[in-house]
Amino acid sequence: MQQQVEQAIWLAHTEQDTVALAQKLAAWVKPGDLMALDGDLGAGKTRFSQAFAGAIGVKGIVNSPTFTIIKEYEGEGLPFYHMDVYRLSSEEADELGLDDYFYGDGVTIVEWASLIKELLPTERLELNIEHLGGDLRRIGITGIGERYAAWCKALNEIGAE
């Protein structure tokens, strides 16, 4: 089936601009939503995830789940599943039962998502964070599927810069 695809670009001149994007998306999410993050080490994937968690009401500290692969948090009315799949082997992926998260009651953010592309639901919001020097980040956003495509359209209408 042909998926609808839309793109947007969010230029973050400061960390606060990255936080603002996460807050905007947090206002739109519902259970079963997926954000697939990519970008080099230090790009801001975890920072974005922390801002998202804060925005949906997760209390306490959200750290990088590099060694645990998945951490579960409780937001206000919505669980948050934070994954870092950098070290995930295919055997582990089977054991973890990723689909239970992707199609579960919460919202999932995956760091290094492109490493497990074939395990991700087709419909997702992809965010590719590029470090352009200093605090400047170029966040390339691709919405795959009608729902996420609409988010990109909305971001473009806001004039995402």
Ligand X SMILES: Nc1ncnc2c1ncn2[C@@H]1O[C@H](COP(=O)(O)OP(=O)(O)O)[C@@H](O)[C@H]1O
> Which parts of this chain interact with Mg ion (CB under 5 A)?
45-46, 64, 111
Residue nearest to ligand X (CB): 44
| Residue that the structure tokens 């995956």 belong to | 110
The nearer residue to ligand X, 43 or 149, going by C-beta atoms, is: 43
Query: CA 20 to CA 130: how far, in whole Å?
Result: 17
Chosen from ligand X, Mg ion, none, partner binding at 74 (C-beta under 5 to 8 Å by type): none
List the Cα angle 158/8/118 in 5-degree steps. Answer: 140
Q: Which one-letter amino acid corresponds to residue 10?
A: W
The nearer residue to ligand X, 14 or 89, going by C-beta atoms, is: 14
111 closest CA partner among 55, 68, 157, 152: 68
Strands 107-111 and 79-84: parallel
Chosen from Mg ion, ligand X, none, partner binding at 39 (C-beta under 5 to 8 Å by type): ligand X
The nearer residue to ligand X, 134 or 159, going by C-beta atoms, is: 134
Which residues make up the interface to ligand X (CB under 6 A)? 12, 14-15, 17-18, 39, 41-47, 64, 111, 135, 137
The nearer residue to ligand X, 3 or 16, going by C-beta atoms, is: 16
Chosen from Mg ion, ligand X, none, partner binding at 15 (C-beta under 5 to 8 Å by type): ligand X
Query: CA 26 to CA 21: how far, in whole Å?
Result: 9
